[in-house]
Structure 1
Amino acid sequence: MTDADGLTVGEVSTRLGVTVRALHHWDEIGLARPSLRTAAGYRLYTAGDLERLHRVVIYRELGLGLDSIRSILDDSTADVLGALRAQRTQVAERIDRLQQLSAGLDRMIDAHERGMLLTAEQQAAILGPQWNPEWPAQARQLYGNTTQWLQFAELSASRGPEEWQAVADTMADLDRALGDAMDAGVTPGSPEANHLVERHRDVFASYFPLTRRMQVCLGRMFEADPGFAAHYDGVRAGLATWFRQIIDASARAHGIDPDTATWE
């Protein structure tokens, strides 16, 4: 093609792989204007125009803004090397952010699939010898499609061994407080018992937010499930039943019938 010839906007769009809209915009702002017009007024790009457009496309692909590109193309005093170095720095920073995002996505995927991002040895060291490392996988099979599992995974993705140790310590403190309260004769429905129920909801939020109705369902499970019952009764004999009783009493005080409460 010679300068006497010309390419239409559509032909240039196809040749350079840019949109017609972009070509019109660059024309409007004076960045890359067609030098010729047909008798009917249609834009035609000459060989010189196409060379300039090639340079615009190259710098755009490198991430430079249109004002920077205009300066590089039109200002003989422009620090082209400095602009490219600055862009390289920005690209490196963007790559670092993307790598961090990728690592975060990997952790989130692992957390959704595994629950706890801990080895079996770490789980045993933090949660005690009675902990079964297979429980998280079993829980995913049962609850993997629930909102609560998703919430648990989102929290788990940001936790390492130290954070899980803090959760375990907080739960152990609550267990001791429950056992001490039962020994002291604290009765279901009393302010002391209700405070412990609220404390349990706060502590349990380390896994996922717990409504009062959901807490009633957990109380039933703590008493009925052999594994949970053994855990609480291991703290104090009869604690699993007493814990369920104080949860039920607190629920009644908030207008919830424990006998009909469902997981919601």
Structure 2
Amino acid sequence: MNSGDDDGRTGHTVGAVARIAKVTVRTLHHYDEIGLLSPRGRTPAGYRRYDEADLGRLQRILFYRELGFPLEGIAAVLDDDSVSPSEHLRRQHQLLTDRIAHLQKLAAAVEHAMEAEKMGIQLTPEEKFELFGEHYREEWEGEAEQRWGDTAAWAESQRRTGGYDKADWQRIKAEADALNARLVELFTAGEPADGGPAMDLAEAHRQHIRENFYDCTFEIHRGIAGMYVADPRFTAVYEELAPGLARWLHDAMLANAALRTGEQG
């Protein structure tokens, strides 16, 4: 394939490659100078010409650069003759999977911090890190207060949790973890979200909030369900437990609210 400014010769000019890959010409010159990407072709006047194999190598270079690999490390990986193209793809897939998992953990930490602030946790910074993980950041707490600070539920949770100590929060966290484990078990078993067992667990989820924090009405519970699918930070918590769990729990919470309000009405 020829570029639009190849002067009738095969291959791509350095300017064309820079535009295709969205890098600077200076970057391509540097890669050539250090032997990381030396184009296979040259014009009679000595100008660089990049073929499709060169473009493929550049694509791999830029991928590893995006993940933070140093240039010398990239050269070592790409110049390893024992690694096939398919193995490079497998490695790239694994690196991306690891990066996604890391970002999901960060999102889960945000969700824990927001829940903690919403519920009025009275803990030291050290205890917050211990309970909610190494990625906890205190600056996330302001967002929760701004969002819920003027609600009756916020006031009630502040009052009720004001006397909680570390042991209370450890108990509450253990109960939540046990409930999550039951949710995962039911979900992975293929139980429908609007089935009796799923709705019973959704009700247990609501009761856990009512018993420990504030009067979680069915209307409030519907709102929480909405956050589980609308806010990526909340979604990530359940997706990390099992892909698809966030939507399933959302549906179970709505089905439970519809059923029980119908019974009461």
Aligned residue pairs: how many? 146
Per-residue CA deviations over 1:194-225 (Å, capped at 9, x if unaligned) read 11011001111222111111111111101111
Per-residue CA deviations over 1:142-192 (Å, capped at 9, x if unaligned) read 221211111110112110111111111111111111111100111122110
C-alpha separation in 1, matches of 2:120 and 2:162: 8
C-alpha separation in 1, matches of 2:158 and 2:141: 11
Map residues 33-48 of structure 1 onto 2, 5 A cutoff. Answer: none
C-alpha separation in 1, matches of 2:252 and 2:130: 31
SS of the counterpart of 2:138? Answer: coil
C-alpha separation in 2, matches of 1:214 and 1:241: 17
Among candidates 248, 254, 259, match of residue 254 of structure 2: 248
Which amino acid in the other structure matches residue 235 of structure 1? L
Alignment match, 1:219: 225
Select the structure of larger CA radius of gyration. 1
Alignment match, 1:196: 201
Q: 1:131 to 1:174 in 2, by over 3 A?
A: farther
Among candidates 147, 152, 174, match of residue 152 of structure 2: 147
Deviation at 1:133, TM superposition (A): 3.2
C-alpha separation in 1, matches of 2:235 and 2:125: 23
C-alpha separation in 2, matches of 1:144 and 1:181: 35
C-alpha separation in 1, matches of 2:236 and 2:168: 26
Q: 1:178 to 1:220 in 2, by over 3 A?
A: same
C-alpha separation in 1, matches of 2:147 and 2:234: 17
Alignment match, 2:186: 181
Normalised TM-score (structure 2): 0.51
C-alpha separation in 2, matches of 1:114 and 1:170: 15
Alignment match, 1:31: none
Aligned residues of 1:112 and 1:153 also touching (Cα < 8 A): no
C-alpha separation in 2, matches of 1:230 and 1:130: 14
Normalised TM-score (structure 1): 0.51
Which amino acid in the other structure matches residue 221 of structure 2? Q
Unaligned 5+ runs, structure 1: 1-110, 257-264
Aligned residues of 2:127 and 2:166 also touching (Cα < 8 A): yes
Alignment match, 2:67: none
Aligned residues of 1:127 and 1:168 also touching (Cα < 8 A): no
C-alpha separation in 2, matches of 1:129 and 1:199: 29
Deviation at 1:129, TM superposition (A): 3.2
Alignment match, 1:239: 245
C-alpha separation in 2, matches of 1:176 and 1:167: 14
Unaligned 5+ runs, structure 2: 1-115
Q: 1:130 to 1:113 in 2, by over 3 A?
A: closer
Aligned residues of 1:114 and 1:136 also touching (Cα < 8 A): no
Alignment match, 1:125: 130
Alignment match, 1:51: none
**Percent sequence identity over matched residues?**
26
Q: 1:126 to 1:113 in 2, by over 3 A?
A: closer
SS of the counterpart of 1:134? Answer: helix
Which amino acid in the other structure matches residue 253 of structure 2? I
Which amino acid in the other structure matches residue 117 of structure 1? Q
SS of the counterpart of 1:129? Answer: coil
Q: Highest relative contact order (Cα 8 Å, sep 6+), 1 or 2?
A: 2
SS of the counterpart of 1:149? Answer: helix
Which amino acid in the other structure matches residue 191 of structure 2? V
